[in-house]
Structure 1
Amino acid sequence: MSVSDKIAARLPRIVSDRAERGPVVAAVRLHGVITPTPTPMARNTINMQTVETALTRAFDHDRLVAVALLINSPGGAPTQSALVAERIRELAGKKKVPVLAFCEDLAASGGYWLACAADEIYAHGTSLVGSIGVVSAGFGLNGLLERHGVERRVYTAGEHKVRLDPFRPEKPEDVEWLKGLHTDLHAQFAAWVKQRRGPKLQGDDETLFTGEIWTGAKAHELGLVDGLGTLRSVVAKRYPDADIAIAEPRRPLLARLGLAGSTTRSGDFLPAALAALEERARWSRFGL
């Protein structure tokens, strides 16, 4: 037997999510942008609708000893991040099992919010972790409409009913309003990290909550993760007799049919294409 075969023999098996062999560590993949409204072009997204079944299935094993979260996400919608994280804590409390998070390529922004739902967080030394901040992005399309002779008409009751309309010129007061929202959300994000990580954090607010991103090795130094390791290596050490059962979240219908990237109507193309560009930009911010 080769050295690699001997090492592999010591590692836990990855089996179906209804393993009958013995103790089970159930792993849930949380991969993709966090958004309440996935587009037809999206292959993987995270929200309550897509992950609820996988989470409940993972926590439902009879021989469950722990649940693992496999996180690879650039973040996204803060509310969906919070809802999914709260659901994980609810299930963990009900089943009384530890939750371990594993940061893969990227656990940034809302992705790190999800990781903090775990009792312990692990990363690879080369993972990108953190980005504890808030960002909004969009497109200014008012010039596009003017170029094509299209007039935008919006009728409202209420002075502030429409803000930051992408088809109208940007207003300074709307930008200030958005900054106020960002400040509030940022404070909630920081409070969640402090609540979950507590005395493990090794840095002040000016270091940890600037929106900076770190490698897994540096994140370990800062107390943002508990250790360096992968799902199989950590499980082999902590639960040597356990098998790993993967619970996959739901994917959009077109992705399940192998048609992600398609649109059904020509009129859907522009908004879908812009959404796809924004999704791509979220990953590109981190060089991925």
Structure 2
Amino acid sequence: MDTPNDLPGAAPPSVPPVATAAAAPPGWEKLIEQFARDYLKDRRSDRRWRVFFRLAWLALFVMVFWALLSARNHAGVPTGPHTALIEVRGEIADDTEASAEHIVSALKSAFEESTAQGIVLRINSPGGSPVQAGIVNDEIRRLKALHKKKIYAVVEEVCASGAYYIAAAADEIYTDKASIVGSIGVLMDGFGFTGAMQKLGVERRLMAAGENKGIGDPFSPVTDKQRAYTQAMLDQVHRQFIRVVKEGRGKRLKETPETFSGLYWNGEEAVKLGLADKFGNLDYVAREVIHAEEVVDYTPKENVAERLAKRFGASIGAGAVRALQGMNGIR
């Protein structure tokens, strides 16, 4: 027997709707689409910036390489007769512009250049290391004998102590009437705090192997033996300085009791004492003495590219050290 639902034309039974977990908010498709567009846009922007920075680093490397290469090639070296200039400025010490390494390098280039008719050391320096000055003095005398070419010292503001040690090797010394010349002496300075420590009740605990290992320590008293030893060493270096000046100046030097006392004089007095020869500047010496008015600077100069390269190299080196320390667990 057929049930009512099985009868022809009967309506199908109603099915209850399936309940969803949560009704979707209106416009959710647009939100997802907008999110996708923004995400892709950010990814493309990041990609463009990465490419930009890579190209910028590449351009920087190319610029550094080109600048270093052009500096090494001496594009400005003349083909005609000229006066070679070497600057001696500031403190004479290792790792400065007036170091023996820089000055000697320039001296070699100038002496070996066949079109350089003469060499001028333009000096504006209060002095510095006797070791660095001695290296330059020895090299000047060696190159003069080897190449038979004259070298002149031109004093600007100051040519004192180690700077005069260098100038003494020149064939002639030119100065301005008001320049400062001389200070032929040697010093070693420092500070002592022993009296202040006693007043403050501070005890110095210095332990050393060797009776004189702590000599010069500012927190320890100086013994008579140590003082005598240091003075003898300074006197020996002073004698070396005096010998160099006498050899360089020869009979032109009018020695007085004050000549090697460490005093300094203006240019006018220096000429009278034979510490300098004549008055004159760079242009005068190039024009009237060397007879080559064109002046070419042989002084080594650290350009911007070299400074960037050094800083970049130092940064890379420091980063590598930190990475290695991290790998090895070093702190």
- TM-score band by shorter chain is 0.7 to 0.9
1:137-176 mapped onto 2 (5 Å cutoff): 137-140=189-192, 152-156=205-209, 158-176=210-228
In terms of fraction of residues, the more helix-rich structure is: 2
The aligned counterpart of 2:284 is 233
Out of 153, 159, 164, the residue aligned to residue 112 of structure 1 is: 164
The aligned counterpart of 2:178 is 126
Alignment RMSD: 3.1
* Contact in 1 for aligned 2:93/2:100 (Cα 8 Å): no
The aligned counterpart of 1:273 is none
Deviation by residue 1:152-198 (Cα, 9 ceiling, x = unmatched): 54422x32333112342333332222111121111111111111111
CA separation of 1:126 and 1:96: change in aligned 2, threshold 3 A? same
Q: Given residue 259 of structure 2, which amino acid in structure 1 is its aligned partner?
A: L
- In the alignment, the residues of structure 1 paired with residue 302 and residue 137 of structure 2 have an alpha-carbon distance, to the nearest angstrom, of 19
The aligned counterpart of 2:55 is none
The aligned counterpart of 2:48 is none
In terms of fraction of residues, the more strand-rich structure is: 1
- Local SS of the residue matching 1:53: helix
* Contact in 2 for aligned 1:71/1:107 (Cα 8 Å): yes
* Contact in 1 for aligned 2:85/2:297 (Cα 8 Å): yes
The aligned counterpart of 1:182 is 234
CA separation of 1:256 and 1:221: change in aligned 2, threshold 3 A? farther
* Contact in 2 for aligned 1:139/1:166 (Cα 8 Å): yes
Out of 90, 103, 123, the residue aligned to residue 32 of structure 1 is: 90
Asked if 1:82 corresponds to 2:141, the answer is no
What's the offset of the Cα at 1:135? 1.1
- In the alignment, the residues of structure 2 paired with residue 149 and residue 256 of structure 1 have an alpha-carbon distance, to the nearest angstrom, of 45
* Contact in 2 for aligned 1:203/1:222 (Cα 8 Å): yes
Instruction: Provide structure 1 residue ranges, at least 5 long, that are not aligned to the other structure.
Output: 1-14, 39-43, 258-263, 265-288
Asked if 1:217 corresponds to 2:217, the answer is no
* Contact in 1 for aligned 2:133/2:165 (Cα 8 Å): yes
Instruction: Provide structure 2 residue ranges, at least 5 long, that are not aligned to the other structure.
Output: 1-73, 309-314, 316-331
TM-score (norm 2): 0.63
Q: Which has the higher contact order (CA 8 A, sep 6+)?
A: 1
- In the alignment, the residues of structure 1 paired with residue 168 and residue 281 of structure 2 have an alpha-carbon distance, to the nearest angstrom, of 17
Deviation by residue 1:42-100 (Cα, 9 ceiling, x = unmatched): xx443222323222222232212111111111112112111111112112222210010
Q: Given residue 184 of structure 1, which amino acid in structure 2 is its aligned partner?
A: Q
CA separation of 1:241 and 1:115: change in aligned 2, threshold 3 A? closer
* Contact in 2 for aligned 1:54/1:250 (Cα 8 Å): no
Out of 244, 267, 270, the residue aligned to residue 295 of structure 2 is: 244
Overall identity of the aligned pairs, in %: 33
Asked if 1:94 corresponds to 2:152, the answer is no
Aligned length: 236
* Contact in 1 for aligned 2:83/2:292 (Cα 8 Å): no
Q: Given residue 202 of structure 1, which amino acid in structure 2 is its aligned partner?
A: K
- In the alignment, the residues of structure 2 paired with residue 176 and residue 251 of structure 1 have an alpha-carbon distance, to the nearest angstrom, of 43
The aligned counterpart of 1:61 is 113
What's the offset of the Cα at 1:208? 1.1
